[in-house]
Amino acid sequence: MADVVASGVLNSVLDRLTNRMVEGRLVDVGAELKKLEGTLSTIRDVLADAEERQVQDKALIGWLRRLKDVAYDIDDLLDKDFAKNRKRSLTDPESSTTSWMKGTCGLKELNGHNLEGILSITSLENVKNFQQAREAKLIEMDGLKVLSLRWDLDTYKKQMEACIRTDVEGRSRQGLINALAVAEEVLDGLQPHENLTLFAILHYPGKNFPKWLESSLPNLVQLQLSSCFRCETLPRISQLHNLETLYLKKLPAIKSLPPLGQLPALKVLHLVSLLAVNSLGSEFYGPGDGAFPVLENLSLEHMPELEEWCEASAGRRSFPRLSELRLLDCPKLKELPTSFPSVEQLYLCTNSELLLSYLPRGAFPNLK
């Protein structure tokens, strides 16, 4: 029963949020975002309390697991900083314009319109090939600052179900393979102008990210890659020297991370639902004398296979400015770096023995 209530709260808030965006009632959008944040906070409190009590009832455990999924869905949508930046642009009359578009409308309609500010393109599963995507000419829109690209994964799920139910001659399977390959072409064709500052890729069904994401967005400040269920490798984004905020969420096929420690401006890093990552080692820090030189906020959440978070190699300084650390739902984690000298806020919801084993060593001398 409570499971239905939690899902109902989410759907109700999202419906109102979407309607008010369409109607242009942007003040109300801010209020709905705050309600959504409150819902997420309440769910997290319930989960933390249940873990602390070590609940054993099987039915209750099942409900808590579903509730946790709801929490991650809310978190995936909400993304506080991205929403905050988007809302600021929307409500500032001197800032920019906002455009919402479905792929079904034809990307060619964007051609010739040097849009400024924010552009959100959805239903990209309906774009047929690289040429159609290229017709949008995003690469020529030097005034575009915020871009969101989204696919509808339900389309691909239905194709998968069709493969299982009816595929005798392999035609359904080949159709699905072709559709997934087209998604990679489409993303490649939607390369934005180098002036872009905020970028989100959501529900992308391709296996690989385009090369331009690694080196052709020098002014990018915030990047979100979320619910890209087939991606096995992440772009090597260490050349994004102005990147301050990075969200990597619901990437279940990713097994290792690029050298994120070499991003010189990175202040916020959220790693959420990276289900196959079991270690954060030398590849996480990258080469050089130091790593994560200005990182202030780090979250590791719902990483069920993560067992070790290794120390940086001897003589290297890492996380000198880290002030907030969140370790939530990482049940196998048994090894951490030995020192976090600047951490003031620690949120831990994994194994209480882990925290107890590190506090005596002085790993967190500045906790408040």
Parallel, antiparallel, or unpaired: how do β-strands 144-150 and 268-272 relate?
A: unpaired
Confidence of residue 277 (pLDDT cuts 50, 70, 90): very high
Q: What distance in Å separates the CA atoms of residue 24 and residue 111, rounded to the nearest whole number? A: 25
> 32 by DSSP, 3-state: which?
helix
Per-residue pLDDT of 167-188, as tens digits, reads 544 555 666 677 788 999 999 9
Is the model's pLDDT at 334 over the cut of 50? yes
Tokens at 241, concatenated = 């020297």
Q: Kindly list the distances between the CA atom of residue 203 and the CA atoms of 150, 183, 303, in Å, as whole numbers in the listed order.
A: 6, 11, 19
Q: Which of 334, 345, 346, 342 is nearest to 318 (CA)?
A: 342
Per-residue pLDDT of 112-167, as tens digits, reads 555 668 888 888 988 989 999 998 899 999 999 999 999 987 776 666 656 555 55
Length of the chain: 368
Pick the CATH number of 80-361 from 3.55.50, 3.80.10, 1.10.510, 3.30.70: 3.80.10
Number of H helices, E strands in the chain: 10, 14
User: In the chain, helix, strand, coil percent, each to 5?
Assistant: 40, 15, 40
Tokens at 129, concatenated = 């090939």
Mean pLDDT, range 6-28, rounded to an integer = 40
Q: Where are the domains of the chain?
A: 2-77, 80-361
User: How high is the pLDDT of residue 360?
Assistant: 54
- Across the chain, mean pLDDT equals 75
Return the higher-pLDDT residue of 144 and 107.
144
Q: What distance in Å separates the CA atoms of residue 96 and residue 136, rounded to the nearest whole number? A: 19
**What are the phi and psi torsion angles at 92 (to 5°)?**
-90, 110
Is the model's pLDDT at 20 over the cut of 50? no
Mean pLDDT, range 102-110, rounded to an integer = 58
Mean pLDDT, range 283-295, rounded to an integer = 92
CB 151 within 8 A of CB 124: yes
Find residue 327's DSSP bridge partners.
300, 348
Neighbours of 111 (CB within 10 A): 13
Q: Which of 248, 299, 297, 295 is nearest to 276 (CA)?
A: 248
Per-residue pLDDT of 34-45, as tens digits, reads 555 555 555 555
Tokens at 348, concatenated = 């831990």
